[in-house]
Amino acid sequence: MIGDNNTNRNLWIITGLASIPFAILAFVDPAKVKFPHIYILFVGACLFNGLVVPFVLFKNEPDWIQKTLALGVNMIFATLWIDYTGGTSSIFYPNFYLLPIIAATMYCGFIDSFLTAFFAGLLSLWFQYNELGLNLAIIGETSILVNIIFFFLLSSILGYLIKIGREQQASTMKITSELETAYHQLSASHEQLQSYTEIIEKMNKEMEQLAITDELTGLYNYRYFQIALDKELKKNKFSVVSLFMLDIDNFKLFNDRHGHLMGNRMLAEIARVIKENVRGVDTAVRYGGEEFAVIFPGMDSNEVAQLAERIRKIVENTYIKTGAGEPVSVTVSIGVASYPRDAQTKSELISHADLALYDAKQAGRNQVCIFKKRPALES
């Protein structure tokens, strides 16, 4: 059937309503009309085509039995209507059979419309035979033959055209459905790909972060220190960049006495103190072992030394408890150097901060030293 069920149902009702004015023409010549048969037939046709067909037989997609029943009953209605309005002398003979033929063509397809036209032709001949008898003159009557041929031509042409229309509509609907399916699949694939891309980007960022982060302390590692110091020196070529190097005093002795687990806890605690006391623009790293470093862009040696002294005091007064509940602490020594006052290159800055740290160790540990230039060796 063409279109959806609601459309077909409404179209069937409209077709039935449109045929009512033609049916009223039967009362133009009441002498030929059989009363009250015509009234009963009229009511029956209205009920069947207004209620039974659209709301029962064609409520859902009809099968061949339901189609045959709808067309067959309407063929009977058409035959009785012609009979009750004068038979072969009726104004409806034989053209009233066009209604079931058109209905078959519109709703049931080419084969159904062809068969309906065939039976309509047979019924037209039956009326002639029933009233006048079968003879060659009747069979050869031009008007009857023309009507029969017209029925077949009409059903064939309309049936073929509607068949093509249905096939095109089905093809269009199939293509539309396939395009919608492909679009939804593509959208889902795009969303899934986007989700995977976001996951991969997130994992890459996490891996990059892990590659430059010290797992124990959460500070940057030595690899990132080299990258960050290069970056700061290039960015602050005509400004100041300071560096301090911090080393835990007698850390090997601490590990030997309290164990490496306590040593790791102490490293993490000192890292926390450093992070809490430097600026957001500063770069704090675990340089290696028990040694830490912080890069200070825009701060000179004296400013960094003051901050380093504060960190040193906090560390000195920071205690962690051993497994036995004994509070223990450590001290740190810090060396400070600045670019460009103390060094002209990255390697010089690291070396001079390390020399300042060495001076702090040599001076008794637990203190902060600023790099001092060594006197040149005499040749």
Q: Which residues are catalytic?
A: 290
220 DSSP assignment? B
Element (H, E) at 322: none
Omega within 30 of 0 (cis) for the link into 36: yes
Q: Which residues contact 99 (CB under 8 A, 6 or more apart)?
A: 19, 74, 78
The pair of structure tokens assigned to 52 is 């039974």
State the Cα angle at 371 between 369 and 375, rounded to 5°.
125
Distances (CA, A) of 320 to 14, 177, 265, 360: 93, 70, 8, 25
Give the sheet arrangement for strand 283-288, strand by strand. 283-288, 291-297, 241-248, 332-339, 368-370
Rounded CA-CA distance 222/292 in Å is 9
**Is the separation of the CB atoms in 305 and 368 below 8 Å?**
yes
Rounded CA-CA distance 125/129 in Å is 6
Counting Cα atoms < 13 Å in the Cβ hemisphere of 203 gives 6
Element (H, E) at 343: none
Task: Reduce the DSSP state of residue 67 to 3 states and report it.
Answer: helix
Which among 94, 88, 70 has a CA at the least distance from the CA of 152? 94
Rg (CA), the chain: 51
The pair of structure tokens assigned to 23 is 């049916």
